Structure 1
Amino acid sequence: MMQKPPAEGDLGQVLVHLSAASRILLIVHKVPDGDCLGSVSAMLSALLAEGKETVAFCEDPAPVGYRFLPNLSRLYHANTMPPFQPDVIVVLDSADLGRIGEAVRFLDGNVPVVNIDHHIGNSRFGDVNWLDPAAPACGEMIYTLCREAGWKITPDVATALYTALMTDTGSFQYANTTADTLRLAAELRDLGARANEIREEVYERKPLAYLRLLSAVLPTLQVSKDGTVAWLCVTRETIAASGAGSNDCDGLINYPRSIDGVRVALLFREVSAGEIKVGFRSKGDIDVYAIACRFGGGGHRRASGCTFMGRMEEAEAQIVQAVMEKLGTA
């Protein structure tokens, strides 16, 4: 069995709050991905098994490919949230309050907030902040939490944690994958993680709209003259015409990233008029987190994002220039 280090920092206070609470609200970020959904699914399963009345909230619904995760029927969004008065609120996988969108309405100052996250530069918005930027996924932190709390890691919990770990490491291909990551994955398999089901649901059940979106977006591919930067652009009209949703843009950035010679890949996605979401991915040791921070964003060293207020053409010009300056190829 994989041996995890003893609780350090604020993990002890996380355990104190969760142990004392009877009613717990979990919150995850907008446009949820595999890590935040796997993490919240694991916590729902573990806390419900402990007899804790627990519900979760996300501004956006879970993508179809993740709805197999256990207990996501208790993940509410938009106006579906039932009346619920928690004893403690736990925010997962969110670097700042802007990431949780309309869920900030639950943070009224009357209920303690526990912040569990692995992003660099977390704003420490919680009453208790347990942060581990070295963790490859928030799901790994939830594994540690389960072990320290003495909660049983059932096949449902293991399946959720494996999903979190697998997706945030790019199926164990990204540079954040360590020997410990692989040992944890093996342990979760031994504990009953349904890896075949996860692979099929996450990677082999793409909606037709996703392929239509992909076929429309790939022609927007641009590559810098020196071949080190590549990017795609997605407009609201493109998404609407394909029948896709914003969640279907997940993974598009991997196409420019896969080009031989490209060191930084970008995805520009129009969210609303004058609002562009920008994703950054890098190869090697290129720090795109530092670039994202210049534009008010954040994330990880090799995977970050920001919001650019302006036109798509302005976003492309300014951000590509900033990336090329970082690479020394401007």
Structure 2
Amino acid sequence: MSTPQPSQTRTNNAPELQQIVDAIRGRRRFVVSSHSRPDGDSIGSQLAMAYALRAIGKEVRVINADPAPPPLMAFPGVPAIEIAARVDGELDAAIIMECGELTRTGVAGLDRFFVINIDHHPGNTRYGQINWFDAGAAACGEMVFDLVRALGAPLSLEVATHVYLAILTDTGSFHYSSISPRTFDICRQTLEAGVDPVLVARNVYDSNNMGRLKLFGAVLSAMQIDPTGRIAIVYLDHEMARAAGGTYEDTEGLINLPLTVKEIQAVVFFKQVEGDQYRVSMRSKGDIDVGAVAKEFGGGGHKNAAGCTVTGAIDALQKVFLEKIEQAIELRDSRIVGLQK
């Protein structure tokens, strides 16, 4: 049997990392939160952090404004997450995961505590007493992994599972350009800690209910393609969801399906919030920067995955976003032409 080799994961030398370690060691009671409408990275990062903190003797509450998507309910710790619009009680610090603004948590009262802000999204407003931002991380889960190691907490199966969940989902199953050798080395270490990647993937991607499947069908049947054949426009309102027998939570992952078509380079998904207010999510391939588009409308995210909330007539909104994404594609194309000269 071969002898395991030492880890080659890049050491994270960010000064903020040591500041967070010191802040955690000097405090006892924590709340961990993230953005509203949580996804796999936010849930995975929160729970990995919570398990690690408990392992070193800390008291931890995990509080979100909204429930986790249904496919994530099978993961340990998810059913115990508190769903609340406000955090009460005596706590020493709040650790906020991948949330550009504190108000985006949807949880009031977090600003009463010492705030530790951990994020990898461009546009973070640095609202914490300590702000650790790493745009090079493929997922917030990578940063949590570094923090767990720096704290000297064990990489237990529970911690490792949620780190892997965070990375798997935020990289789009290892599709996005933010992936680095470090990403795979962290995943290797989670597998060595006992994570079953097949089981994680099945829980995330193969646990649909019939309502979710019918909702996917209804939304994709109504999908529009722009005249160039490169942009998919997806729409969902409350009536469509009710008619299909699904819920808004059932749409997790739907936006990625049009990108499996070779010709489609970007997807924009309009999801009705109420009235003429819409949550807009965007995904893209390669160097098409939908993050810049989202930023124009007060949102944010990454180059290949971003979102914002807008208000207006849906036809007009679709036209505006289509034009903006077309410009992003043209900018990408012009760069390619420039490289070829």
Q: TM-score, normalised by structure 1?
A: 0.94
CA contact (8 A) 2:258 2:267 kept: yes
Q: Deviations over 1:131-184 (max 9, x none)?
A: 111100000000000111111101111111111111111222222222221122
* Equivalent position to 1:107, from 106, 110, 119: 110
Q: Distance in 1 between matches of 2:70 and 2:253?
A: 14
1:140 alignment partner, SS class: helix
What code does the residue aligned with 1:242 have? A
1:95 aligns with 2:97: no
Superposed displacement of residue 82, structure 1 = 7.8
Question: How many residues are aligned here?
Answer: 325
Q: Distance in 1 between matches of 2:312 and 2:216?
A: 24
Alignment partner, residue 302 of structure 1: 304
CA contact (8 A) 1:44 1:71 kept: no
Alignment partner, residue 46 of structure 2: 40
Alignment partner, residue 82 of structure 2: 76
Superposed displacement of residue 18, structure 1 = 1.0
Q: Distance in 2 between matches of 1:56 and 1:17?
A: 18
Alignment partner, residue 334 of structure 2: none
Q: TM-score, normalised by structure 2?
A: 0.91
Q: Deviations over 1:26-73 (max 9, x none)?
A: 011111111111111111111111111100111111122112322234
Alignment partner, residue 234 of structure 2: 232
1:163 alignment partner, SS class: helix
Gaps spanning 5+ residues in structure 1: where?
none
Q: Deviations over 1:182-232 (max 9, x none)?
A: 122111101111323212211111122111111111122111111121111
Q: Distance in 2 between matches of 1:82 and 1:268?
A: 31
* Equivalent position to 2:67, from 61, 64, 74: 61
1:23 aligns with 2:29: yes
Q: Distance in 2 between matches of 1:188 and 1:111?
A: 32
Identity between Structure 1 and Structure 2 (%): 34
Cα RMSD between the aligned structures? Answer: 1.7
CA contact (8 A) 1:107 1:113 kept: yes
Alignment partner, residue 149 of structure 2: 147
Q: Distance in 2 between matches of 1:82 and 1:254?
A: 34
Q: Tell me which stretches of 4 or more aligned residues in structure 1 moved more than 4 Å.
A: none
2:187 alignment partner, SS class: helix
Q: Distance in 1 between matches of 2:202 and 2:109?
A: 35
Superposed displacement of residue 74, structure 1 = 3.6
CA contact (8 A) 2:33 2:95 kept: yes
Q: Deviations over 1:95-115 (max 9, x none)?
A: 1224212x1x1234x321110
1:10 alignment partner, SS class: helix
* Equivalent position to 2:90, from 82, 85, 92: 85
Q: Distance in 1 between matches of 2:245 and 2:131?
A: 39
CA contact (8 A) 2:97 2:117 kept: yes
Superposed displacement of residue 248, structure 1 = 1.4
Alignment partner, residue 259 of structure 1: 261
What code does the residue aligned with 2:89 have? F
Gaps spanning 5+ residues in structure 2: where?
1-6, 332-341
Superposed displacement of residue 234, structure 1 = 0.6
Superposed displacement of residue 302, structure 1 = 1.1
CA contact (8 A) 1:43 1:142 kept: yes
